[in-house]
Chain A
């Protein structure tokens, strides 16, 4: 509650109002202290009224609290309401209320009074008094009245929020769990709900879902009220059935709920159905169960249904049909917009319509869409036009019909319709080059009304693309060029490109224009991108015009409709949350719920702590590391339980290397403050330009694989220390060795190396290593070439990926493991096309995972780095929010594809990894981390 503003001011008028205010307070105090119930009630009504309006009436707390022990239930409820409001800011006074609660909670006669006390005391969120409430709470859990018990169940979750330690200590969570066995369904449902709330803030499983509890919940679901049904369903949705049979049995119990009147029940039932269908085997059972959802979902959209609920339903249908299109195939008419639909429903319906469009219904849909383009709401009209375009790109066979529809849109001459149409037609031209030239004439008639920069840029692009067909292209472009300097960047850009195309195709018409333009762009423009492009064009033209033509008119990657679909991984997550806010926002819950994020972060932090706990030898500051590199250290999450010495050494060296690198990159913590302030520019430069030198491949740092005190396998010779690293050298794999002799008197020579069988069939070209003898105290560097024709080892690589090696010397044979980064194994020939990428990323048996790399790197540099290491950029597209998504792919030497979608944010890089085998996931993540951070 905010404090009143009157108290702060000093003017005379407000002083008088303050004194009036003071008088009012006095009157209220008097009334509260009277004996008559009526006057008390009146006074507290006034107080609550003031409270509602945001006035501060906390000074009355002692007077109000005195009235707690009244026998009048109405008065008591009002007093409680007041106390709930102010207890937090007046914890000392709140203690006064404790006795009354304790007394009421033990009232022998009235269950409502007991429940009221339990319910209210849970709302007083003051740690100080929680302790006093535990006894009455424990009693109420065993109360004979189910109404009190159901209130007690929720009260436990309330108090857990205030003082979790106390609640756990006192065993209340156990008591809450026991309530699942209660005979009353409402009590069970509330217990389920309370457990889920505790589970969310605690981050560990509280509601144990097993066949026994599932039965309990299913039984309760049949007997409790509609809200209880929802809690039961939401809990069931978290269960992972053991097999298809169990899933089917649960579905049988759940599907009748689809006929419930409450949309919350319907959507929660759909959530379970959608999730459990994945566990069924028989296609016919799947089909039948899926179709059960059709009618109930459509009913949520019937006219007269509350618009807000329709909106949620539409958002969810949009998800559901992407996962299982069969559920809504025929019923497109329900998604037609009604004149009176609120705009948020109309826009969402268009979204669904474009998903449902196919070659059979396109005629009907187009007819509707054309109708919508004549309406008045600009946003709706524009989206309708855009939807026509999406249909054209999605359905090649129907593209012509869509183009005709857009043609009609152009002819309306309504400004925003025309502009949107032009934008859409540009995309169609990109998808179907040179196919629909007949509308060029009408397009060119609409040049004057293009206020929207995107429409203008699109139009200029189209002219540039068809300079050979459009006769007066030169004069059109000349017109556009007149205001070149005042145009926004995207328009300038297109003018430059289009004029370039004009000149290359029709040199005589474009000569003067390009000359002037390049001059303006290079001399007068401040936009560096534009200037650079102009310079590049200029030089290309002055060196090799034919080559320039090739470059400018090069074949472009085709666009597809896939940019509107939700990534599979996100989709699955959202399906798990049908009916929830996340399904409406199309975002993962943790992205907008702070609590979930905190729990996730603390889990990651715990894991990191574990790593450090195990590695006592670690130097440096673990806290710093975990703070800055929380994301990156998940690389190691799978391997901290390994205990062999060698492995922990490898880990150690890896972690050290990474953290050293990080220190170099993020100068902040170790750098003196002054220096930072003096040289802010240099600072940022260093941050953004992580790799400063350009080298062919990254250098994997050496790892110590054999320590001097490790004895050999035969004669137990000690004193040989070896550091190695697999490297990529061009398209070759090599093994670099650093051999150090730490003995006093022995000389090592005649080195030979052999690999154990390994997943990528690596083996050295020759067993002998070309290396000088190593005398005591000396170090020699050697290199061994590696090929991939070795014997196969069937098991997939584990994290950390290492190869067992035998090293022969004149004195003994040593066995050790050499760690390997996946980056060494990328094949140097790009074999994954965009088409192939889409196919692969939609394949069922591919593993997906989201990761974050906490490094700052600009996209261009990242691309350079990755491509130099044979990780190629396949395509760039924008998702629904307009966020740019870069798709990279590589294939391993054994042909396995690795796919990564990258989103750049100012502080980090979000990676979506897709690999054919889950064990490759951490390896790939590690490899990308290496490529982007190592030199």
Chain B
């Protein structure tokens, strides 16, 4: 299992260092830092073995979280654990994980590290639960002397429903569902779709009393096919793969594809899914690069939105790559603003609001410097970012959401949809 865990900054300095087994020395870690991180040599490779020690690391912005081991460890588990650990830390630091908050709260992190791993074996990595008994500045005394509360906590920690404490009560019972989809698209220079895929997630936020049983139904083709005869309206979509939060009963899903669960309190990602069939591509892009004369390049860009005209895309951003030796760019467009940004090596076109079923265009004139003309310019792909509320590129819809609790209360439910641009790329 994991022998040691460290948090390391960009300079290769150790910020946190916790040993779980004594088969590793601090020297080995400092050598790794000096060799790999400070010099950036081979830093990309997340898993390396040096002299019988395996170094497994992830990077969260400027922080590197490193696990070491001397055994043939389940590395998929270790990597996932490291990511969950980073999420735990973020949940304590309001979504940040940087050198400052680590230095400030190192005591807290050590306390977390003591709880999440025992002898290098992952134990608990649920941020909501950990916050119940590990807090900056110590947990309030009253919890530590109230035997009943302590019992409940340990029961929850090791129990069947480890994600939800007993005895929750809310005045108002509320349940929010956010369906968030990222469209990943790759279009070749010849305008054929090389890859179109939606990676979606159903985010759940619950404020519910007691131990509610929930069930969620979507227009999943396989489920609907089982339940009723298909009419035109109820043709479902086919979902390639779904991944569930531990609260979802997997054997039940495997048996009849119903999704039932007791939700964790607060926020969680209930389902992540992947769909690759019948994707509604929200934008169509046409782009032409032409060299007018020497040192001058013209780019013409046309974008058409292909969703209903009563919905709007927001924060649309188009990143049009230009050569390295670009001096400046003159842009002309009817909608939004476009300008050349040196650090991005692109013309960035921003559109605040983009109506459905609408077409707009951009024309840029690029002035090029005379340098390195011989070198071939390997064009990176054109990239788009956007957000479209009330639209799902996959066509996924939540058909029903049931909450059953023995108290029999009424629950207010909200469901929202949002589609975002993921890796939305056009090769040039």
Contacts and interface: CB of A to CB of B under 8 A. Distances in A.
Nearest to A73: B144
A125 B30 CA distance: 23
Contacts of A371: 188, 427
Nearest to A340: B423
B150 interface: yes
Interface stretch (A134-142, A274-282, A302-310): A302-310
Judged by DSSP, the binding face of A is helix
Contact of B245 (A253, A261, A589): A261
A311 B75 CA distance: 11
Contact of A577 (B72, B184, B378): B72
A396 interface: no
Given A145-B154, A187-B158, A262-B80, A48 B119 contact: no
A313 B137 CA distance: 40
Contacts of B169: none
Given A111-B151, A197-B1, A230 B254 contact: no
B142 to A, nearest CB: 13
A309 B86 CA distance: 15
Interface stretch (A74-82, A172-180, A744-752): A74-82
A256 B253 contact: yes
Given A54-B26, A110-B144, A73 B139 contact: yes
A259 B72 contact: no
A357 interface: no
Nearest to B250: A256
A206 to B, nearest CB: 16
Contact of A304 (B54, B199, B246): B199
A190 interface: yes
A914 interface: no
Interface in A882-911: none
Contacts of B203: none
Interface string A243-273: 0000000000101110111111011100000
Given A225-B162, A259-B243, A48 B47 contact: no
Contacts of A53: 14
A256 B253 CA distance: 8
B266 interface: no
Contacts of B17: 52
A307 B240 CA distance: 21
Contact of A186 (B20, B69, B139, B158): B158
B91 interface: no
Interface in B117-164: 118-119, 121-126, 133, 137-139, 144-145, 147, 150-151, 153-155, 157-160, 162
A625 interface: no
A127 to B, nearest CB: 13
Contact of B44 (A187, A223, A302, A342): A342
Interface stretch (A331-339, A424-432, A602-610, A640-648): A331-339
B118 A581 contact: no
Given A146-B155, A581-B75, A225 B124 contact: yes
B160 to A, nearest CB: 5
Contacts of A224: 162
B186 A338 contact: yes
Interface centre among A146, A230, A312 (most CB of B within 10 A): A312
B114 A264 contact: no
B241 A296 contact: yes
A344 B274 CA distance: 24
A88 B70 CA distance: 19
Contacts of A226: 125, 246
Interface string A508-539: 00000000000000000000000000000000
Contacts of A85: 19
A547 interface: no
A569 interface: no
A375 B76 contact: no
Nearest to A338: B423
Interface string A161-192: 10000000000000000000000111100100
B210 to A, nearest CB: 20
A333 B158 contact: no
A150 B274 CA distance: 36
A581 B77 CA distance: 10
Contact of B30 (A54, A111, A316): A54
Interface string B46-61: 1101001010101000
A303 B47 CA distance: 20
Contacts of B254: 255-256, 259
A112 B133 CA distance: 9
Nearest to B46: A308
Contacts of B250: 256-257, 259-260
B76 A579 contact: yes
A33 interface: no
Contact of A147 (B30, B52, B154, B241): B154
B272 interface: yes
Interface string B162-201: 1000000000000000000010101010000011010100
Nearest to B29: A54
A80 B115 CA distance: 13
B71 interface: yes
Nearest to A185: B160
B244 interface: yes
B242 interface: yes
B231 interface: no
A227 B44 contact: no
A113 B16 CA distance: 24
Nearest to B199: A302
B319 to A, nearest CB: 12
Interface in B245-272: 245-246, 250-251, 253-254, 269, 272
Given A259-B250, A339-B380, A307 B46 contact: yes
B110 interface: yes
B425 interface: yes
Given A109-B147, A125-B22, A580 B75 contact: yes
B297 interface: no
Interface stretch (A472-480, A590-598, A781-789): A590-598
Contacts of A367: 188
B194 A336 contact: yes
Contacts of B162: 186, 224-225
A352 to B, nearest CB: 15
Most chain B C-beta atoms within 10 Å of own C-beta, residue among A303, A306, A343: A303
B106 A49 contact: yes
A374 interface: yes
Nearest to B126: A225
Interface in A218-246: 222-227, 230-231, 234
B293 to A, nearest CB: 25
B123 A312 contact: no
A911 to B, nearest CB: 24
Contact of A580 (B45, B73, B155, B376): B73
Interface string A110-127: 111000000100110100
A309 B80 CA distance: 7
Contacts of A758: none
A336 B195 contact: yes
Interface in B1-27: 1, 14-17, 19-22, 26-27
Q: Which 10 A-B pairs have the closest CB atoms?
A: A264-B77, A147-B154, A295-B241, A589-B72, A256-B254, A74-B138, A308-B46, A256-B250, A186-B158, A227-B122
6 contacts: A52-B14, A263-B76, A306-B58, A336-B194, A344-B44, A592-B52
Given A110-B144, A306-B83, A336-B186, 12 more contacts: A112-B133, A119-B114, A154-B121, A224-B162, A295-B274, A299-B241, A307-B46, A309-B79, A336-B194, A338-B425, A593-B71, A594-B70
Interface of B: 1, 14-17, 19-22, 26-27, 30, 44-47, 49, 52, 54, 56, 58, 69-81, 83, 106-107, 110-111, 114, 118-119, 121-126, 133, 137-139, 144-145, 147, 150-151, 153-155, 157-160, 162, 182, 184, 186, 188, 194-195, 197, 199, 240-246, 250-251, 253-254, 269, 272, 274, 376, 378, 380-381, 422-423, 425, 427
